[in-house]
Structure 1
Amino acid sequence: MNTTTSFKDYTLNSCLLNASGIHCLTVEDLNALSQSQAGAFVTKTATLHEREGNPTPRYFDTPLGSINSMGLPNLGVDVYLNYVIEYEKSHPEKPCFLSVVGMSYEETISILKKVQESDYQGMTEFNLSCPNLPGKPQIAYDFELTHQLLSDVFSFFTKPLGVKLPPYFDMAHFDAISTILNQFPLAYVNTINSIGNGLYIDVDSESVVIKPKSGFGGIGGAYVKPTALANVRALCTRLNPSIQIIGTGGVLTGQDVFEHLLCGASLVAVGTQLYKEGLGVFDRLNRELSIIMKKKGYTSIEQFRGKLKDM
């Protein structure tokens, strides 16, 4: 069964990759991802300088997923940029995307100028959607700011650039963000990041389960799949065909991967389940997707990708 997929100039052996933030903090983590059955992988979202992130505990497994408020712990953009530059010299067949965001408008511009001036030619993912920084709103919920920032970025940035988006919940918001994104030469969008500011309670202790933000954190896992699928579908039907989609959210089984692809995703990222299961999740999901495709008589992903039927 052929589960290869096309993403920009790449032909990948699998449509799967990690969600940024999971198993990608250290060089050792990234090397392990490079040897996994994922078709591509992405670094931890990098800020200009190293960050420890929010106080612990900041992640908690729940029966249907997870809640976290990590606060962007990372080693700083120079570490990850140096990694992807060296990696792509010898691994052209399996890309490693560089995920970045600034802690301010000016820092964001500084980071992307650093990438632009570097030898890195691969995909950069600009994270517009981290919901777990105390006192920091999600950029992509401010449409005017998003337009201004992308205008400034594309005044100098000429390399392949994607954006990581938060979940949207209103048809008018799908229309608004798509109208903005369609004005720029984006390579892709990654949708969704976790659903921000959820709350999970330990009934026995009558307490929240994570320390930052009085227990409020991003929700991932099975809880978010319907929202993730809706965002993939809504953006697929609104964005320019040249802007591909990475579907992220609620991927536990091969059926979940199939549904993301059916909604229009070209790649599918795994977050909570990768954290719970480890790197073997990619092999399992590839096998389960192949079984579904064989059962349905599909010999390639392109035969059903984006072909969700209306009633």
Structure 2
Amino acid sequence: MLQTTFLDYIYENPLMNASGVHCMTVEELTALENSAAGAFITKSATLAPREGNPEPRYADVPLGSINSMGLPNNGVDYYLDYALKYQMNHEAPLFFSVAGTSVDENIALLQKIQDSDFQGITELNLSCPNVPGKPQVAYDFPLTEKILTEVFQFFTKPLGVKLPPYFDMAHFDQMAEILNKFPLTYVNSINSIGNGLYIDPESDQVVIRPKEGFGGIGGEYVKPTALANVRAFATRLKPEIKIIGTGGILTGQDAYEHLLCGATMLQIGTQLQKEGPAIFERIAQELEAIMKKKGYQSIADFRGKVKTIN
């Protein structure tokens, strides 16, 4: 009932982890592998291992989370080694995330994947800071187009991009126009809402150390923004570019709404951090129950069919 076709491969369900959550080590990736998730993605890798920002850099808050992680990861070779071993024993492809701290590093990471035996799906995280004093890459539209132009001169494997949230109809239009120029496999929308601030009511203090408490917001707070971005891109991108919906998925109903807005796969971040990999079985069961109640046999019966008011 929940089977999902993505790049001609059939996944048992559309549920995945969001990159950055429960995917730092081989042990965590193996737990995802053995969970009820339909697919999973590695931690966003840089060329060299990174410690990330000083702790505390993540905090659970009442309606979600706030974080300023600073891209902690074990380096691209660590995850590539895992991915090559994984694909020897599995047919459906693994998702592999890269996030350079500069344009040159992004190009170098993708060149490394292109030159390797990796046969899975690569995700380029464009919603990371690039140059100090400049916005993250995906908020710089000419730079986004420049990077993708350069990437597709040599990269021939399946590639998706992770995007930050946009808040203006003109920005949806402009970004979709850029993305439609390229042979992308998918767009992952959204990354966390940038630069929120949460204050502990007892101590009058921010709850994370980096950036004087400023951090990305995830969880229940972001679902309306995530749904809007999924819907906006589902109606603007050419049909061959699929949407992975991310943001505010706590229940089967949340997952259902993302699919209704046009997503094909779904990633779970904050709530996975709070519950652990058992969440995938719960969400899958809840989603299936909703579909049965509404008389749907498959996700294709309702994907992208959100109703508007005339």
- The match for 1:177 is 175
1:19 aligns with 2:6: no
**Secondary structure of 1:306 counterpart:** coil
Shift of 1:96: 1.9
- The match for 1:232 is 230
Q: Deviations over 1:84-133 (max 9, x none)?
A: 1110111113x321100211111111111110000001100000013699
Kindly provide the amino acid, as one letter, of the partner of residue 18 in structure 2.
A
Distance in 1 between residues matched to 2:67 and 2:133, nearest whole Å: 16
**Secondary structure of 2:35 counterpart:** coil
**Secondary structure of 1:41 counterpart:** coil
Contact 2:102 2:131 in 1 (8 A): no
Shift of 1:137: 3.1
How many aligned residue pairs are there?
309
- The match for 1:128 is 126
Contact 2:130 2:137 in 1 (8 A): no
Distance in 2 between residues matched to 1:253 and 1:5, nearest whole Å: 19
1:306 aligns with 2:300: no
Identity of aligned residues (%): 67
Contact 2:64 2:221 in 1 (8 A): yes
- Residue 293 (structure 1) aligned to one of 269, 291, 295: 291
When the two structures are superposed, what TM-score results if normalisation uses the length of structure 2? Answer: 0.98
Q: Deviations over 1:237-295 (max 9, x none)?
A: 00010000000000000000000000000001000000000111000000000100000
Shift of 1:134: 7.0
- The match for 1:82 is 81
Return closer, same or farther for 1:132/1:146 CA change in 2, 3 Å cut-off. Answer: closer
Contact 2:102 2:130 in 1 (8 A): no
- The match for 1:147 is 145
**Secondary structure of 1:42 counterpart:** coil
Shift of 1:200: 0.2
Distance in 2 between residues matched to 1:216 and 1:7, nearest whole Å: 36
Distance in 2 between residues matched to 1:133 and 1:76, nearest whole Å: 20
Gaps of 5+ in 2: none
Q: Deviations over 1:17-76 (max 9, x none)?
A: 000000000011111111110000000000010000000000111110000000100000
Q: Where do 1:1-311 residues align within 5 Å?
A: 2-93=1-92, 95-130=93-128, 137-311=135-309
Return closer, same or farther for 1:274/1:213 CA change in 2, 3 Å cut-off. Answer: same
Return closer, same or farther for 1:269/1:4 CA change in 2, 3 Å cut-off. Answer: same
Return closer, same or farther for 1:59/1:133 CA change in 2, 3 Å cut-off. Answer: farther
Contact 1:69 1:132 in 2 (8 A): no
When the two structures are superposed, what TM-score results if normalisation uses the length of structure 1? Answer: 0.97
Kindly provide the amino acid, as one letter, of the partner of residue 178 in structure 2.
I
Contact 1:54 1:73 in 2 (8 A): yes
Shift of 1:226: 0.1
Distance in 2 between residues matched to 1:220 and 1:36, nearest whole Å: 22
Kindly provide the amino acid, as one letter, of the partner of residue 85 in structure 2.
E
Contact 1:245 1:265 in 2 (8 A): yes
Contact 1:132 1:218 in 2 (8 A): no
Contact 1:257 1:289 in 2 (8 A): yes
Between stretches 97-106 and 204-213, larger displacement belongs to: 97-106
Contact 1:16 1:282 in 2 (8 A): yes
Contact 2:50 2:71 in 1 (8 A): yes
Distance in 1 between residues matched to 2:130 and 2:248, nearest whole Å: 19
**Secondary structure of 2:79 counterpart:** helix
